[in-house]
Chain A
Amino acid sequence: MNALMKKLPLMRSCKEVTALVIAREDRELPLTEQFALRMHMAICKACPTFERQVITMRNAMRQWRHYGADDESPS
């Protein structure tokens, strides 16, 4: 399976996919990469967990950005 994955053009390793998931926060991925990412996610167990971590961070950042902007929070 692993040997096969490396040979197919749209196959990406977890390491590569992890990098894409992070990169996606700051830039739009080329269509091929978007597609390769989705394909990998469909067959991988670890990467979707990593992706959820990144999405949790995104939500956390939103909360943090607005923290203290209302009167309930300490100034």
Chain B
Amino acid sequence: MHPQTPTDFEQQLVAQRSYLMRFARLQLRNDAWAEDAVSETILAALAKPLAFEARSQLKTWLVGILKHKIIDSMRQRQREVTLDSGSEDDNADPLEHIAFKTDGHFAEKPADWGNPEQDLRSRQFMAIMDACTGKLPPVQGRLFLMREWLEMSSEEICKELALTPTNLYVQLHRARLRLRECLELHWFAAR
């Protein structure tokens, strides 16, 4: 199937590729897996072309397909996806980045981040979010994005990846604290 000139629909799909790759890479943390998931998404879309009036509708539709492909991909690679290389902060106390006194009080009061509703929509902030989630260790990053980007419940994630709830919660906990630290450092304190 390599024929004539690409149809409008094909061109529209190809134009969305980099957008889909951004999410697939962040979520899967593996370029080859991400390529596969995005290719499968585009093939699935080609198999049943639909007409969309707006580009945003096409995007939403494609992202919907991609999410399923990503979940399939992680389900198939269950072990690899959740295998902690050991270099991840296994034994670290997840709260150690926040300094507490021995009596459990904050050593330093947490900073007031204000009410930055508008800022949170800016392109610069999105770049910081991409960078901060991208910096999470792979297992933490995948699980965290399953929660936040794929919007899966903790129960669903445990089921798909055969994780115990305790294991999942520990990883998510660390991911959230790391993200908080990263945002504080690169966004809130930097302004």
Q: Is the CB of A46 within 8 A of B105?
A: yes
Tell whether, in the assembled complex, residue A15 and residue B95 are in contact, meaning their CB atoms are under 8 Å apart.
yes
Please classify the interface of chain A as helix (H, G, I), strand (E, B), loop, or mixed, using the class held by over half of its residues: helix
Interface range on chain B: under 10, 10 to 19, 20 to 34, or 35 or more?
Answer: 35 or more
Residues of B within 8 A of A69 (CB): 56, 59-60, 63
Asked if A52 contacts B113 (CB within 8 A), the reply is yes
Cα A75 to Cα B18 with chains together (Å): 7
Contacts of B8 in A (CB 8 A): none
Contact mask A12-24 → B, CB, 8 Å, 1/0? Answer: 0111101100110
Q: Which of B41-49, B72-80, B121-129 contacts its partner? A: B121-129
A70 surroundings in chain B (CB, below 8 A): 56
Residues in A whose Cβ lies below 8 Å from that of B98: 15, 18
What 1/0 mask marks residues of chain A from 31 to 72 whose CB sits below 8 Å from any chain B CB?
000000000000001100110111011011101110111110
Contact A56 B113 (CB under 8 A): yes
The reply to whether B56 and A46 contact each other, CB–CB distance below 8 Å, is no
CB neighbours (8 Å) of B110 from chain A are 46, 49-50, 53
Looking at the assembled complex, report how far the CB atom of B136 sits from the nearest CB atom of chain A, in whole angstroms: 13
Identify B103's interface contact among A13, A56, A67, A73, CB under 8 A: A13
The CA of A60 and the CA of B140, in the complex, are separated in Å by 19
21 A-B contacts (beta carbon < 8 Å): A14-B104, A15-B98, A15-B104, A22-B173, A22-B176, A23-B169, A26-B169, A26-B172, A49-B112, A53-B110, A54-B176, A54-B180, A57-B179, A59-B117, A60-B125, A60-B129, A60-B183, A63-B121, A65-B151, A69-B63, A75-B16
